[in-house]
Amino acid sequence: MITLYNNDSECCGCGACEAICPKANIKMVTAGDGGYFYPKYLGDDNCINCQLCLKVCPMKHSDSKQEASFEPVFLAGYTNDSDLWMTSSSGGAFTEICEANKDKNPVVFGAKWEGFEVVMDFNENGDTECFRKSKYVEANPNQNYSKVKFFLDKGRYVIYSGTPCQINGLRAFLRKNYDNLLTIDFACHGQGAPIVFRKWLKHLEEKYGKPLVSFKLREKKKIKDHINSNCTTYEFADGTTYTTTRDYYHHAYVKGLHMRKSCANCRFASNRLADVTLADFKNVGEGWPEALSERNISTIICNTEKGYDAVNRIKNMTMRKSDKDFVLKYNPKLYKGLPGNPQRDSFLCAVGGG
């Protein structure tokens, strides 16, 4: 009998155990509070007790280290393409990295919307549009690690964008370094509850009396003399849209009220294995006063030489070096996990997700 985890806080839902099992004896299913993804062990009859599932679990082996010989490079920047900037959560760095390396014919992996479900998927032509923008809902792993390995073993260049725990899980699953793999993570606020999201969508449809066709977070809207990049836009079937600066699903997410249990005090925030880390550049007025005042900006951290080489190929961004201490001071999610909200469990029970 294999015990994959003892309680919900011991699983980050990456899917490495499912992907590595040679007998397909583990399946990721929605379970527990919030409707998050957890691995289900399908029984002893088909298990060969190889214990690969335990060996690749990033929660059990979170002590892997980044290459010590490289000193991370901290940059700030924004794309020079105004349309791209408007359709990006921050400064457009993710798309510009992919575009700068398009001559390598990359397969790009990331989280995208499929209807109102977030799914890990890939695009073989290197296009990034479906992967842009924050989702704030846990993604279906969708056997994405096995697909990454398939392309890597074929010699394709892969750009993989995911949460810090997903990157650690991928690295553990692959069990070796690939020169043709570029990994990108970000300053993660945790994984939002799919059940809470679905209930919020139902509430919006009842409130407005019509079906939703899209839900967009981190929209950029000009409000008076500045751009607010934390707007949420609802689009309905009749073509009408409504944009708000106070979406309650988003606000509950930011407060940690429906954060996955393993996200509290995240152990991966302080032990990032990605080649590049992206985030919002905070306190632009002090950190880069000459920058365009209306634009929000990306923080770009090159954690490895491979990451630095990939970023250094960018031609269509306005960039400058940034001070490490300044960046970390104003964005602590880059080096430490957020504490859990003590009201989380009661909130999930109240909305019927616990």
What is the pLDDT at residue 32?
A: 77
Residues 322/75, Cβ–Cβ less than 8 Å: yes
Q: What does residue 340 show for φ and ψ, rounded to 5 degrees?
A: -70, 155
What is the pLDDT at residue 195?
A: 95
Measured over the CA atoms of residue 284, residue 188, residue 266 and residue 335, the dihedral's sign is: negative
169: helix, strand or coil? helix
What is the pLDDT at residue 13?
A: 97
Per-chain mean pLDDT for the chain: 93
Residue 100 scores a pLDDT above 70: yes
What is the pLDDT at residue 219?
A: 92
What is the pLDDT at residue 138?
A: 97
| Confidence label for 210 from pLDDT (cuts 50, 70 and 90) | very high
What is the pLDDT at residue 291?
A: 80
| Confidence label for 69 from pLDDT (cuts 50, 70 and 90) | confident
| Confidence label for 63 from pLDDT (cuts 50, 70 and 90) | low
Determine which helix (DSSP H) or strand (DSSP E) holds 66, and give its type and residue range. none
What is the pLDDT at residue 1?
A: 81
Residues 299/305, Cβ–Cβ less than 8 Å: no
| Confidence label for 290 from pLDDT (cuts 50, 70 and 90) | confident
For 320-351, letters b (16+ CB in 10 Å) and e give: eebeeebbbebbebbeebbebbeebeebbeeb
Task: Tell me the domain boundaries of the chain.
Answer: 8-55, 67-354
Residues 138/119, Cβ–Cβ less than 8 Å: no
Task: Read off the tokens for 347.
Answer: 């909130």
105: number of Cβ within 10 Å: 11
| Confidence label for 354 from pLDDT (cuts 50, 70 and 90) | low
Residues in the chain, how many? 354
Q: What is the mean pLDDT of residues 17-33?
A: 94
CA 277 to chain centre: 11
Measured over the CA atoms of residue 232, residue 236, residue 239 and residue 240, the dihedral's sign is: negative
Its pTM stands at 0.95
| Confidence label for 294 from pLDDT (cuts 50, 70 and 90) | low
Whole-number CA gyration radius for the chain: 20
The domain 8-55 is placed in CATH, from the list 3.30.70.20, 3.40.50.2300, 2.60.40.350, 3.40.50.720, at 3.30.70.20
User: What letter represents residue 218's amino acid?
Assistant: R
Any idea what DSSP says for residue 268?
S
What is the pLDDT at residue 62?
A: 65
What is the pLDDT at residue 292?
A: 66
pLDDT in tens, 212-251: 999 999 998 877 666 788 899 999 999 999 999 999 999 9
Determine the angle formed by the axes of helices 144-153 and 164-174, rounding to 10 degrees. 50
What is the pLDDT at residue 352?
A: 79
What is the pLDDT at residue 222?
A: 75
